[in-house]
Structure 1
Amino acid sequence: MGPFDWLPYAPLEPVQLDWLDGVELAVLRLDRIDPLISGNKWFKLTEHLAQGRAAGASGIISLGGAHSNHLHALAAAGKRFGFATVGLLRGHAQDTPSVLDLNAFGMQLHWLGYGGYRARHAPDFWGPWREQYPHLHPVPEGGGGLAGALGCAVLVEQVRAQLSDIGWADYDGWWLAAGTGTTLAGLVLAEAGAHPVYGALAVPDDHGVAQQVQALVQHGYQLLQASRGGFAKVDPELLAFIDATEHACGLPLEPLYTGKALLALKQQIEARRFVCGTRLIFVHTGGLQGRRGFPSLSSGHPRV
C-alpha cells in the first residue's frame, strides 16, 4: 500500500463535560486515525505528496522543532510508505523523544541553529537545500500553505457524513487549535461561509499566523489568543485541566495545542460567548506524542 491508497477516516464523538453548560460538543478524533501518523498532520501532507509525485520527487524535505508533530508524522509516513525524508530542525542537536523517533524512522536530520531557522521565510532559503537534495520536494513548516489547507478540506466532508450517527442535523461552528493556521484555512475553504471556524492560537500573535491565514482566506473565521504566555508555555492550571478532562470523558489532550484550545473554549463558554444549544465541532489535531515531554501526563502514544 502506498500513501495515495491510505484514506484515514476520523470518528466524530460527542463528549459530555460539566462546564459545557448546555453547549453540545462533538470531537473529530484525528488522533485516532493511526498510532504514529496521527492527527491533522497527515491531511496537511496529502496535497504536498501529490505535488511531489507530479514533480517526480523521491521524497520530502521539511522543517520543524525538536518536538515537531509534523516532522514526526512525516518521518513515520516515509518509513511506512517507502519514501525518503529529510528534516531541517530548529536549534541545536538534542535527543528528545520525538528526535529519537525521527532517527528510528530513518529521517535525515540537519540542525539549523536558531538564527538559521529564523531565515526559513527568506526568498533564498530553499536554494542550497534544493541543490543538496534535488530529488526531494520541499514542504513548508507544519505542512503549511495552500496545498496543506486543501488537504484538510476533506475534514468537512467527514464530519457531515457522520452527523446523523450522533443525532445532529447540523452544527453551528468549528473550534480548533491554530499553530500555523493551515487546518483552519482548509476548513474555511471547504465551508465556503456555511459555518464559522474559530481558531485558538497556540502561539503568540507575533508568529504571523493571522497573516498566513489571511493569505489563504479572507472571511469566515476568527482567531482568539490561547497561547497562555507563549508557544510551549505550560502552567499548572492547564495540566490540571488536561488531567480532569481525561478523567471526566476519556479524551486525551496534550498541552501545546489541543489542551490549550479546549481550555480556551471552556473560558469562552463561561464568558457566555456561546449560548445553550450551540453545537460545535472540536477538532482533535493529534500530537499526543508530545505528551512524553511532560512526566505528569501519561504518554498516550506508543514508542517505536
Structure 2
Amino acid sequence: MKTFVFSAVAMAVLASCTNSAIDDVVNNDEPVAIRLSAGVQANVVVSRAPITSVESFKPIILGWEGATAEYNQNPKWKASTTQPIAGNASNFEITMDPLEYYNADALVNTFMKAFYVSGDIAPAMDSSKEYIYTFKNDNGDRDVLFATAISGNKSTNTTKAFEFKHLLTQIKFAVKEGAGLSENTTLQSITLKNVKVPEGFDLSTDALTYVDKATLLILGISSPTINGNTTTPLVVGSPVMISPMADLKLTVVTSVGTFDDVSVNIDSDASLMAGKAYTIALTFQQKAIAGKATVSDWEEGTGSGTVE
C-alpha cells in the first residue's frame, strides 16, 4: 500500500500533478491517501493567548463524503496531525493522524474543514451535531484559527491546501507618562466594556458563536508605576481576543482616579478588524488619558484616541 504525507508551508499552495502521476496513484485498486498542505496567515500565533509565528499548533480536521457538501450532517471522520504545524512553516511535511483515504468510488467527493482553538482544554464536540464545538473562555484569552473548505476525490488526488486565518481581533495594552502626571501613579486595572468573546463555532456555517461580556477585565496587571515611561510605553497585562467591533470603550483605574468610557479610535480602520492585533498605548496626564493604538503581530497599522 502506498503512503502519502502532508506538507505544511508558509502560504497555501496547490501542488500540480501529471496525468501519469495520477494514474500511478489510483491504479491496482489501492486505497488513495488524502494529501494536504497547511498554510497560515503571516505572523500567526498559538498558545493560550494569541498564536505567534514562532509557535506551532495541531489542528482538528473533519471530513465529509458525498456528491455535494453536506456540512450540516455529521462528518465521516475526524483527524489531527502527527506533528504540529509551525506558524512560519515552509515545506514542512506532516501526516494526518489517523491517515485518511478517499472513497473507493471516484464519483464520491471528500470535503474537508480544519480549525484550531488555543488553550490547554480541547473544545468539546456536540454529541448529536458533530460539526458544532464549544469551549470555555471566561477571560477572552483563547484564539481561533479556521481554514475554509477544500475537496477532492480518488481521481483528483493532487495536494489540497488549507490556509488558516484568524477570526478575532487581538487587543493588548501599554502605558506611558504624560505631562503633569502625579508622582508614583500606578495602574490598577483596565476593563473592556460591552465586548463579545468566542465560546464555540458551527462548521456547517463557518460561524463563531459568542457570549456577551458587559465587562472584560485585562488580567496580569500588577499595579505597575506609570511614571518614568516617557518615551517607550510599558506593555501591561495579557492580550485578549474579541469579536471585531466598531467602537471600543474602556474603564481605566489608577491610584489617583477612575476614567470611564475611554474611547479608542483606529486611524487606518473604520472598526477593529479580524486578524489584526491592536496595541493600545495609554498616555496618562494630569487630568486625562490619551490613547494611541497601533497594530502589530498579525497585521500592521496605526490609530489614535483621546479621553478627557
Question: What is the TM-score of this pair, normalised by structure 1?
Answer: 0.25
Higher helix content, 1 or 2: 1
| Larger strand share, 1 or 2 | 2
Q: Which has the larger radius of gyration?
A: 2
TM-score by length of 2: 0.25
By relative contact order (CA 8 Å, sep 6+), the higher-ranking structure is 1
